[in-house]
Amino acid sequence: MYITAHAAAGAVLGQYISSVPLAFLAGFVMHLILDMIPHGDEWIKDWKWFKNRMTRIAVASFIDLIGVITMSIYWINHSDPKNLAPMLAAIAGSVAPDALWGLYELTKSPILKWYRTLHTEIHELIFKKEISMKQGFLLQIIFVIIATWIIG
């Protein structure tokens, strides 16, 4: 799932959880739960515009980061100020699993290898079927719109 969709889930959680540490943890766990749903971004590996895997991941991550920043600014401006700290903590928690995965991909650190294995296996824990990139993109756009509606 794109980071923007995960961040949307975190932003919603932050509206209902007042504890900052608990909001971070809830965002982290929600990321792993959402990763169990087929989400269509597996097809990034087939992009022909870029020669290697890391370039494809970097470009997709950069585009996604722009989405997270844009949406976070919108969510911050349209939510109750008392929810700001837990919302930001939940967004950070919802992004952290992919950040850890990315850190492993960049460093190949043996300390993070177990986590990368776990994170990869979670994607196929319940559903083993992939969906198309178009279906996944549509699903995630709808998810972000619904989350944004809940927030504001």
User: Domain range spanning residue 146?
Assistant: 3-151
DSSP 95-140: HHHHHHHHHHHHH--HHHHHHHHHHHHHTTSS------HHHHHHHH
Residues near 59 by beta carbon (within 8 Å), at least 6 away in sequence = 50
Report d(CA 108, CA 125) in Å as an integer.
24
pLDDT digits (tens, 9 = 90+) for 72-115: 999 999 999 999 999 999 999 999 999 998 899 889 999 999 99
Element containing residue 12 per DSSP (H, E): helix 3-16
Tokens of 70: 């844009």
Residues near 64 by beta carbon (within 8 Å), at least 6 away in sequence = 2, 3, 4
Number of domains in the chain: 1
Q: Please, what is the angle between helix 84-107 and helix 110-122, to 10°?
A: 110
pTM of the entire predicted model: 0.87
pLDDT digits (tens, 9 = 90+) for 30-80: 999 998 887 766 555 555 665 676 777 777 788 889 999 999 999 999 999
Band (pLDDT 50/70/90 cuts) for residue 25 is very high
Element containing residue 92 per DSSP (H, E): helix 84-107
